Amino acid sequence: MRPEISICIAATRPVGLVRLLASLARQKLPPGLTFEVIVVDNAPCEASRAAVQTWSGPAPLRRLEEPVPNIALARNRAVDAAAGRWLAFVDDDETADEEWLAAFEERVRRGEADGLFGPVLPRLEEVVTPWLDAEAFYARPRFATGTILGRGDLRTGNALLRAALFQGRRFDPAWGRSGGSDAELFGRMLRAGARFEWCDEARVVEWIEPGRHKPRWLARRAFRGGVTFSRIERARGARAGLARPLAAALVCAAALPLAALRGRGAALRAWMRLCTQAGHLHARLGGDVEIYGGRGAAPGRRRGP
């Protein structure tokens, strides 16, 4: 029988995958709600194979391999294999609340959305930088349930979309090493008329690894965000000159000394804003970044810091 939901996971972290699968096995489901789990291993190794063997949930699980280090290709393998009417996306550094699928299902029955997105709540695996507050620096925006979402609010970290939206559409592998393939694809869906809503009851936790609980990592993420945003805008045909990000970068640089006087948190926020503008400039000069794979730079692309 066709499942109602296919949970699609692009996996590169065996330890995180074990933790995620354990949370999916604990889902409290309403009567009649069926699901399957599809794990696409994008860094195949013995540890990742063993991680899948820990599955003890109430639904079938399939493990596929995508040996090319490209998250868009891995997600596409999951989409191709999915049999559900709805496709759920969750990352392998996350865990799902026990009511995660039930909350999405309730909103599906009550609304007319083509896709639902929920909160991703940060939690530290280990405190590395004591003054760096997880809620202040890693939390993402939240909205009231039912809020209509725009393209800036969409990502695969916690999402449920109609399978029909993927007819003739896939994640673009051109974005599969740099990140942004989810935002780019969901933007195309929006332009085609899809309706995306927020479901605040469908919660997942993002586990912040020790290597990410550092100002340097946040600055790099801000830089990558600037690069990705400008690349997507350029792909959409938007005008992408240098004047605006250059002016914004100068303003941010001028504000740094004053921000430093207000403390480390304020200084870091100012530095992150400057890094974002630097990312815009980098992209508009033809540069790129690579955050997935780690087996050499993509041909013809420059790597960011």
pLDDT of 257-291, one tens digit each?
998 889 999 999 999 999 999 988 888 887 776 66
Q: Considering only CA atoms, which of 124, 293, 291 is closest in space to residue 211?
A: 124
The contacts of residue 212 (CB under 8 Å, 6+ apart) are: none
- State whether the Cα torsion 179-60-209-96 is positive or negative: positive
Which of the listed CATH numbers 3.30.70.380, 3.90.550.10, 2.40.30.10, 3.30.70.270 matches domain 5-211? 3.90.550.10
pLDDT band of residue 93 (cuts 50, 70, 90) is very high
pLDDT at 94 over 80: yes
Q: Is 76 helix (H, G, I), strand (E, B) or coil?
A: helix
pLDDT at 298 over 90: no
**Where are the chain's structural domains?**
5-211, 214-284
The distance of Cα 136 from the centroid of its chain, to the nearest Å, equals 19
**Please, what is the Cα angle at 268 between 267 and 272, to 5 degrees?**
120
Q: Residue 271 — φ and ψ, nearest 5°?
A: -65, -40
pLDDT of 17-50, one tens digit each?
999 999 999 999 999 999 999 999 999 989 989 9
Listed in sequence order, the DSSP H helices in 236-263 are 243-261
